[in-house]
Chains A and B, each alone.
Chain A
């Protein structure tokens, strides 16, 4: 099955104010959320750490075995790499997917309010890279990582 590389990250607490903003966003009307919620700083960030700081106010995430990444070990076409994330962690508030070697690592960040801890998407990968998945649960960040090898890149010509 999948090979998961784990890295040790500093453990720490999550800034409460950022969580409050994220939590309240789910309660707003869709139009309001559509207008204001997109975290530009996180998506513009050039590194995984900066993207996480833009999203959650901290990049401190603890490695977790309770996160399952379902993705190919080798992707033939970097333009379309399927990934599915599921987790047995309780009370999942959000899931974020980051491709470390991409120019802008943050691929997607989802806030879950009535859904279970699962998210699937198709992502672009410029080259072989570690893919990091962050799950926010109980106010803390949990992380899992998997390397995906790419034979043909998917970011530009």
Chain B
């Protein structure tokens, strides 16, 4: 399935806030399919990394307790408009995604 990764930047409280959204089901592995009664296998993003100008800014380890379509926010005081952002993520089934964007806060 196609997954969409989005990056948005804005200025918040004197810092550049980077918001990352990934469309992903984040299945816990504890839910049952109501029609078949079978357990839906766990399927969730485990790692998400943000790089600012090629250097790691934040790396998040996520569990099944993160909501569907994760929206994660990070802040940087050193980022400025025009800086390059890169987000990379990988889930427990080996799916991955990456997106590059430019800071425009």
Contacts of A102 in B (CB 8 A): 65
Distance (Å) between the CB of A146 and the closest chain B CB?
16
Q: Which of A9-17, A26-34, A56-64, A137-145 contacts B (4 or more CB under 8 A)?
A: A26-34
Closest to B46 in A: A38
Is the CB–CB distance between B66 and A122 below 8 Å?
Answer: yes
The answer to whether the Cβ of A89 comes within 8 Å of any Cβ in the partner chain is no
7 new A-B contacts, CB < 8 A, other than A119-B72, A122-B66, A155-B30, are A38-B61, A108-B62, A114-B56, A114-B57, A114-B78, A120-B71, A155-B28
Is the CB–CB distance between B67 and A104 below 8 Å?
Answer: no
The answer to whether the Cβ of B41 comes within 8 Å of any Cβ in the partner chain is no
| Bound Cα distance A98, B66 (Å) | 10
The answer to whether the Cβ of A152 comes within 8 Å of any Cβ in the partner chain is no
| Bound Cα distance A109, B73 (Å) | 13
Contacts of B60 in A (CB 8 A): 108-111, 119
Name, among B56, B57, B60, B61, the residue most crowded by chain A CB atoms within 10 Å (CB to CB): B61
Contacts of A104 in B (CB 8 A): 63-65
A27, A30, A37: the one within 8 Å of B61 (CB) = A37
Name, among A107, A111, A114, A118, the residue most crowded by chain B CB atoms within 10 Å (CB to CB): A114
Distance (Å) between the CB of B35 and the closest chain A CB?
12
Is the CB–CB distance between A156 and B74 below 8 Å?
Answer: no
Contacts A108-B65, A116-B15 given; indicate if A121 touches B59 (C-beta within 8 A): no
A–B Cβ pairs within 8 angstroms, 19 of them: A25-B59, A34-B47, A34-B49, A34-B96, A38-B46, A81-B67, A105-B65, A107-B65, A108-B62, A112-B57, A114-B55, A114-B57, A115-B75, A116-B15, A118-B17, A120-B71, A121-B66, A122-B70, A122-B71
Is the CB–CB distance between B47 and A122 below 8 Å?
Answer: no
| Bound Cα distance A38, B64 (Å) | 13
| Bound Cα distance A112, B39 (Å) | 35
